[in-house]
Amino acid sequence: YTGDITGATGAPVGTAFFLNCDYIHYRPHRDRNLVALSPGKRVSVNQDAEVQLIGWAGNLTTSGRMMQGRHDINA
């Protein structure tokens, strides 16, 4: 394994999870890939800022679940 190893909150003690990014795919919907939801931007009356709402739809898929990893030292 040549990737980075980082700690994650919420993971069980004594368990490590590994992701093989060669088999994970980002599949956005062609009509909703970070597109503006409304034509105008929203502005605040008490700040020098404006906000644009964007929408996204899609899936994060894998083509090989057995290529991902989990190591449990308690087993």
Amino acid at 21: C
Give the per-residue pLDDT at 29.
Answer: 96
Give the per-residue pLDDT at 57.
Answer: 97
Can you tell me the distance from the alpha carbon of 18 to that of 71, in angstroms, rounded to the nearest whole number? Answer: 8
Can you tell me the distance from the alpha carbon of 71 to that of 49, in angstroms, rounded to the nearest whole number? Answer: 46
Residue environment code for 22-46, b if the CB has 16+ CB neighbours within 10 A, otherwise e: eeeeeeeeeeeeeeeeeeeeeeeee
Chain-centroid distance, C-alpha 8: 14
pLDDT in tens, 12-59: 888 888 888 889 999 999 999 999 988 888 888 899 998 999 999 999
Give the per-residue pLDDT at 1.
Answer: 58
| Residue 5 CB partners (closer than 8 Å, separation 6+) | 16
